[in-house]
Structure 1
């Protein structure tokens, strides 16, 4: 096989694979999503990575106390506004009796948080970029709100768009 074809084949075979988690010195790791071009840090000692989805759109992280972090990208095929998309995404979490308790939007991103009306709190941050939404959602028990307060703050700060999307 000619060298240039071998290089191209190797590049294509590795382009869609998830990047390995990068360890940080304090027990946090960074998940990088190649397909949608984003990265998020997470407390690996609290939230265990479940493996990237087969289609490469994101990953779920689970804790023993029932908390769950979802980090993913979606295509904006319905041409929704960023604010409408964020509300639509969290509606599935608020249930019949839940409510949104905090909302902020800025150009290119939005945050929504609240309660499911029963036992769970949620926090979701969404970026809009080039016909896509990139989101992380953390749901956690109300009884663990104190523990997750600092986790939410750090997740929100470290969640970012990356360069080099395919």
Structure 2
């Protein structure tokens, strides 16, 4: 019984951290994500392509769009170039055929951008931007947030991008 109680007490903080995540689903583009605890809806896009959430000085924008020109690789290259033109120092840059993650700093700000391929030549993204002073609070949620951005179930041509939403 003591071992069970000790194990329970060790696991309790992890379970408490997992609580509070809110599902976000976008019907227009067929993608889903989980919104971390502490982030509240700041505004929804009028055209139904996404929403912005805030937690103090941290912002989380989640949206999708149809690729107007080029393919997924071109989209990621354009985002990368834009960040560099805006003065971001990209320290993390990883890309596969179906998803990409870009992260860097500019002054005292940190940005993390995740992009995943969707069906019908569309992509979904989230951009998490926050001050370095919030790094200890915000950084631990990035991994789960990145894994949560995924196409909706039934999106067969994007299944390699990320696990389908259930």
Pick the TM interval, shorter chain: 0.7 to 0.9
Please tell me whether residue 73 in structure 1 is matched to residue 73 in structure 2: no
- Please give the TM-score of this superposition, normalised by the length of structure 1: 0.73
Change (3 A) 1:118 1:94: farther
Task: Kindly indicate which of the two structures has a greater share of residues assigned to helix.
Answer: 2
The alignment partner of 2:61 has SS state of strand
Structural RMSD (CA): 2.1
Please tell me whether residue 121 in structure 1 is matched to residue 110 in structure 2: yes
Deviation (angstroms), 1:107? 1.6
How do 1:13-162 and structure 2 match up within 5 A? 26-44=19-37, 46-64=38-56, 66-79=57-70, 81-89=71-79, 96-115=86-105, 117-129=106-118, 130-162=120-152
Aligned length: 137
Change (3 A) 1:124 1:144: same
Structure 2 gaps, min length 5: 1-17, 156-166
Q: How far apart are the structure 1 equivalents of 2:134 and 2:81?
A: 22
Change (3 A) 1:54 1:139: same
Q: How far apart are the structure 2 equivalents of 1:97 and 1:51?
A: 27
Q: Could you tell me whether the CA contact under 8 Å between 2:116 and 2:149 is conserved in 1?
A: no
Structure 1 gaps, min length 5: 1-24
- Please give the TM-score of this superposition, normalised by the length of structure 2: 0.73
